[in-house]
Structure 1
Amino acid sequence: MSRPPEPLFLARQSYRRRRLGDAARVLPILGAVLLLLPILWADTARTSGGLVYIFATWAILIVIVAVVSSRLGHDRRGAGDPEGGEDGEF
C-alpha cells in the first residue's frame, strides 16, 4: 500500500510563522547596513543630517522588531507550542 501524497503547500499559519522567523533573522543585518550607510556620505552630507538619519533608522528598527516579535510570540502561544507557555508561564 502506498502512502497518500503529502500536501504541496504549507498551511498559512505555518508559512507566516516561518517568514516572520526569517524576517527576525534578517533584521540585525539590515539594521547594520542601514546604520553604516551614513559612512558613505561622509564627504557630501552634513553631520546633522546623518545624525537625524541614524536616529530615525534606529526608531524605525525598534518599531519593526517590536511588531515582528509580538507576532512571533502571539503565533507561538496560539499554536500550543510547549515552549510558548500554554499555561501562561514562560
Structure 2
Amino acid sequence: MSREPSPLFVAKRTYHGRRMADTARFLPIFGAGLFLLPLLWKTPAEDGGTGTVQVMLYVFLVWIFLIGAAAILSRRIPRTDSNASETEQG
C-alpha cells in the first residue's frame, strides 16, 4: 500500500468552482421557498392583509431575481473539459 496520500486542500480555482456549483444546485430550493412565502402572509379578507397586487408584484420580483442569480452563477461556474467537448460536438 504505497499509495500517496491525497492533498488536504484543493486548488483555489477548483474549490471556488465547486462552491459556485453547489450554490447553483441550491438556487431552485431557495426559489421555491421564496415562492411559497406569500402563503404565510395574511389574506386580504383579514384586517391589514396583503392584497393580490402586492403578492403578484412580490412573485414577479422574486422571479426576476432568480433569473438574474442564475445568469450570474452560470457565468461564474468554470467549464470542465467534459462539458466543453460535449458542447463543441453537439
Range of TM-score over shorter length: 0.7 to 0.9
Structure 2 segments unaligned to the other structure (5+ residues): 44-48
Cα distance, 1:3 vs. partner? 5.9
Higher relative contact order (CA 8 A, sep 6+): 2
Q: Distance in 1 between matches of 2:87 and 2:66?
A: 31
2:14 aligned residue: 14
Q: TM-score, normalised by structure 1?
A: 0.77
Residue 60 of structure 2 is aligned to residue 55 of structure 1: yes
Which of 1 and 2 has greater Rg?
Answer: 2
Structure 1 segments unaligned to the other structure (5+ residues): none
Q: Distance in 2 between matches of 1:49 and 1:87?
A: 42
Alignment of 1:1-90 (within 5 A): 5-43=5-43, 44-72=49-77, 75-76=78-79, 81-85=81-85
What fraction of aligned residue pairs are identical, expressed as a percent? 42
Count of equivalent residues: 85
Q: Would the alpha carbon gap of residues 83 and 27 (structure 1) be closer, same or farther in structure 2, given more than 3 Å must change? A: same
SS of the counterpart of 1:8? Answer: coil
**Deviating 4+ runs (over 6 angstroms):** none
Q: TM-score, normalised by structure 2?
A: 0.77
